[in-house]
Structure 1
Amino acid sequence: MREAVTSARRVVVKIGSSSLTTATGGLDTARVDALADVLARLCGEGREVVLVSSGAIAAGLAPLGIPRRPRDLATQQAAASVGQGLLIGRYAASLDRHGLIVGQVLLTVDDVTRRVHYRNAYRTLRKLLDMRAVPIVNENDTVATEEIRFGDNDRLAALVAALVHADLLVLLTDVDALYTGDPARSDTRRITEVHGEADLEGITLGRPGKAGVGTGGMITKVEAARIATGFGIPVVLTAAPLAPAALAGDEVGTLFHPVHQRPTARLFWLAHATSPRGRLHLDPGAVQAVVARRKSLLPAGITAVDGAFTAGDPVDLVDSSGAPVARGLVNYDAVELPSLLGRSTVELAAALGPAYEREVVHRDDLVLL
């Protein structure tokens, strides 16, 4: 038995579109009911459950007479507006058989990348769990644009797991585990456990969005596992029909072990839930100070500035080759920085006043990538 699974008190379960719908669109009632039975069993054991469910766009295809997943954003949003109501209605009816109430939570990228929204999302989910409801989370596909969408619900599930401080993330898909390559090949083997990056070497993950009505793929699921395990949350990846066995602790699917102690929520948010608004180019000495000695970033170590950001925005700190080495919250507007570059804080304070003696990025607002 997997103790990391059986001992988890707060569980986030993510299920993809292909595990909930028919190939042509429309909800598969039997599959939804089977998932509801699994969630109800967890709740009956006294565990807290959050479901991250794809399927809104896919559920809206058949009612609108759309034969396949549309490529244009407007039609996707129209399908989502029809399908989301059907999806949450089906979950509500299915879980009502077990006396459970559902709460719908629709998120956009802003809700997890902007600190105030992030806290608001946490409070909503926390209150639903306190009231013994089952939060059902999905991306708000009806309003999300290409520029502000998650792209897949695997990353969203990992961020939600960290947001609610889950003890376990379960990724349910149409493949029973992570394999070294195409599961249809005879020379491919199943990977039962992943302890770190070394266990992923030589694995062919394919490409996201390869088939069906979903948008993800094994790449997005492994990346979601990286995010969650980086927050100290174990992850189980398996097929939806194996969910009862997986959540009972049986050794099915692939178990990703946590690779770090749980960091502060604020630094995790900064590393994984923010989108940089600009870049600060560092000289080698500044890279050494920030990365090796964990120092704050000062104006003297910056060689160039990219982007249109304001004080308090997240920015990437990049080395001389342009590779990001850290992310931090900047203390200056982008328009202020060019005249400060290469100058010491003592010099700046003398020339411009004590307000310019501050760091560009303080070490408490900085996380290594």
Structure 2
Amino acid sequence: MASARRVVVKVGSSSLTTAAGGLDASRLDALVDVLAQRRLAGGDVVLVSSGAIAAGLAPLGLSKRPRDLASQQAAASVGQGLLLAEYARAFGRAGLTVGQVLLTAEDVVRRTHYGNAQRTLERLLTLGVVPVVNENDTVATHEIRFGDNDRLAALVAHLVRADALVLLSDVDALYDAPPSRPGAQRIAHVRGPEDLSGVTVGSAGAAGVGTGGMTTKVEAAGIATSAGVPTLVTAAALAAPALAGQDVGTWFSVPPAKSARRSTRQLWLAHAAAPTGRLVLDEGAVRAVRSNRSSLLPAGVVGLSGRFRAGDPVDLVDGNGHAVARGLVNYSSEELPDLLGRTTRELARQWGPAYEREVVHRDHLVLLGR
């Protein structure tokens, strides 16, 4: 961590705001001081910050985070400007400029959007700017969040080819039991899923302004390490020793088998792309996809569900419904039923050469569960 050239740091709502809503300037300033020092020392810093909705509660007279989407979006609309203004002020004390980058799920699911976000972030870093990333809650139409921005932070870490990811909240580490329980021990190092066997991971805290919890942080760490980015989970109050490489928090290292980073396309297919349907494969197709990394042909599909267009992500499942892979389908859900179980040569003879193509090409497919 101490020698990482480029670091993505994510901070949760509960670390920036009061329980009643509204930003806590002293806590925000303390975090910015640490990040500014890192940036001025020559390192690249990308800040993924929650807090827009929480910051908008008090100005709107709301006592707690609203449940309905429209009110959440209204709070985010008010709070996002307040949040960025505070970051601009705080980083400005160190002579640093911030740039706002608001992302939606679409921006990390659609390949062209993903590339645009990647180029923008890279250019901001080249110019010496500290990007402040958040989900664009004001226009979110499905889930208002990625998972308290933890999942988003993991994807951003891959996007900018970070050397490390730091997930900050109000909990100092992952424990083998609830931290309040006598005898609970900090888990200092997670090398793989086996190190978490039997560990109960907690949900969001009681403050009511955040939406994540340790569960989303463990999931985000899994995404990041699968992309070759080691991850540290700790408390915002420990940001300085964490970035200095001291023994705090829980460190998730990259498994040896994952040392080679996955491609951008593979990562967003596996972790960011929300499947719009399912294709049921016969046993031969399951073997071909899983063992031979082959493309999926119409002859190997025995059923489907969901509504999707050509180019949408779909899950490929076996006869028991277990997801084998995820990929971009070449046919819509309206076209595909007439093609099931038939060879591409047969389809080309009946309907023309345009139908002599795979249902999912192997270049647009990623295995799941590995």
Matched with 1:309 is 308
CA contact (8 A) 2:137 2:144 kept: no
Percent of aligned pairs with the same residue?
67
Aligned with residue 78 of structure 1, among 74, 96, 105: 74
Matched with 2:336 is 337
CA contact (8 A) 2:148 2:212 kept: yes
Matched with 1:150 is 146
Q: How many residue pairs are counted as aligned between the two chains? A: 365
For residues 276-327 of structure 1, the C-alpha deviation after alignment (integer angstroms, 9 at most, x for no partner) is 1211100111111100121111111100121222222111101111121101
Give distance in 2, aligned partners of 1:63 and 1:329.
44
* Structure 1 residue 137 corresponds to structure 2 residue 133: yes
Q: Amino acid of the residue matched to residue 364 of structure 1?
A: D
Give distance in 1, aligned partners of 2:144 and 2:265.
21
Q: Secondary structure at the match of 1:316?
A: strand
Give distance in 2, aligned partners of 1:351 and 1:32.
65
CA contact (8 A) 1:110 1:148 kept: no
Give distance in 1, aligned partners of 2:253 and 2:270.
20
Matched with 1:186 is 182
Higher mean C-alpha displacement, 175-184 vs 333-342: 333-342
**Distance apart, 1:64 and its partner CA:** 2.0
Matched with 1:321 is 320
Q: Secondary structure at the match of 1:158?
A: helix
CA contact (8 A) 2:12 2:50 kept: yes
CA contact (8 A) 2:19 2:207 kept: no
Q: TM-score, normalised by structure 2?
A: 0.95
* Structure 1 residue 35 corresponds to structure 2 residue 34: no
**Distance apart, 1:268 and its partner CA:** 1.1
CA contact (8 A) 1:70 1:76 kept: yes
Matched with 1:262 is 261
Give distance in 2, aligned partners of 1:182 and 1:35.
26
Quickly say closer, same or farther: Cα 1:146–1:346, change in 2 above 3 A: closer
Matched with 1:16 is 12
Matched with 1:368 is 367
Matched with 1:288 is 287
For structure 1, the residue ranges without an aligned partner over 5 or more in a row are none
Higher mean C-alpha displacement, 178-187 vs 13-22: 178-187
**Distance apart, 1:180 and its partner CA:** 1.2
**Distance apart, 1:211 and its partner CA:** 4.2
Matched with 1:117 is 113
Q: Amino acid of the residue matched to residue 86 of structure 1?
A: L
* Structure 1 residue 248 corresponds to structure 2 residue 244: yes
Higher mean C-alpha displacement, 277-286 vs 139-148: 139-148
Give the aligned CA root-mean-square deviation in angstroms: 1.4
Q: TM-score, normalised by structure 1?
A: 0.96
CA contact (8 A) 2:147 2:216 kept: no
**Distance apart, 1:346 and its partner CA:** 2.4
Higher mean C-alpha displacement, 292-301 vs 137-146: 137-146
For residues 210-245 of structure 1, the C-alpha deviation after alignment (integer angstroms, 9 at most, x for no partner) is 543100011001000000001000000000111100
CA contact (8 A) 1:171 1:235 kept: yes
Q: Secondary structure at the match of 1:190?
A: coil
**Distance apart, 1:164 and its partner CA:** 1.0
CA contact (8 A) 2:12 2:148 kept: no
* Structure 1 residue 56 corresponds to structure 2 residue 52: yes
**Distance apart, 1:151 and its partner CA:** 4.1
Give distance in 2, aligned partners of 1:79 and 1:93.
21
**Distance apart, 1:107 and its partner CA:** 1.1
CA contact (8 A) 1:210 1:217 kept: no
**Distance apart, 1:357 and its partner CA:** 2.0
Q: Amino acid of the residue matched to residue 181 of structure 2?
A: R
Q: Secondary structure at the match of 1:61?
A: coil
For structure 2, the residue ranges without an aligned partner over 5 or more in a row are none
**Distance apart, 1:63 and its partner CA:** 1.9
* Structure 1 residue 65 corresponds to structure 2 residue 61: yes
CA contact (8 A) 2:15 2:236 kept: yes
